[in-house]
Amino acid sequence: MTHRKALAALSLVLALTLSACSGSGTTTGNKSFVSGNGTVTFLDVSNRVAAPKISGITLTGTTFTLVPGTIGVLNVWASWCAPCRAEAPTLAALALKYPEVSFVGVLTRDNIATAQAFVNRFSLPYPTLKDDSILLGFHNSLIANAIPSTVIIDKNGKVAGRISGEVTVASLTDLIDRIRAE
């Protein structure tokens, strides 16, 4: 299989994963998505695989790259997603509480103007990447399997955990603290 065909197949799998509507799914207008229930997955160090390079153009047009050697919190969101709106204040507060952790959003299935209004409304202090194709790089590990999904990357650049659905102060603080202690 060529690289292009493999990428196309992964794109299809990701699109189906993020847009499939099941018993736990939600429909908002024309947007169907799987909403997570807040399930937390934490991987032992021996079971972790390398995260893809986290880099891209942000909503404001700047380039963001996750600095190697730092913990990363990657949150997949959309402005039309009710759980995303509910978790935004928590993410903003934790980004300020943990300045040594690199928080970054990944916009999915949304438009830039609405997304920028969302960022402004919730005063998100971290950048958001506007190209969700970065998510394809997680296919060998914990993929973003719901909207929202939050993936945590350890200091060694490996995928350490995921929250499928809305984060809470307790769930995300626990993951960050466990990874910081390693």
β-pair partners for 73 = 103, 152
Domains, the chain, in order of start with CATH, read 3-180 (3.40.30.10)
pLDDT band at 173 (very low <50, low <70, confident <90, very high): very high
Name 180's Cβ contacts closer than 8 Å, sequence gap at least 6. Answer: 71, 101
User: Letter for the amino acid at 113?
Assistant: A
Phi-psi region at 38: left, alpha or beta (left = phi > 0; alpha = psi -120 to 50): left
User: Letter for the amino acid at 155?
Assistant: K
pLDDT tens digit sequence for 60-116: 999 999 999 999 999 999 999 999 999 999 999 999 999 999 999 999 999 999 999
State the pLDDT at residue 35: 59
pLDDT band at 38 (very low <50, low <70, confident <90, very high): confident
The pTM assigned to this predicted structure is: 0.81
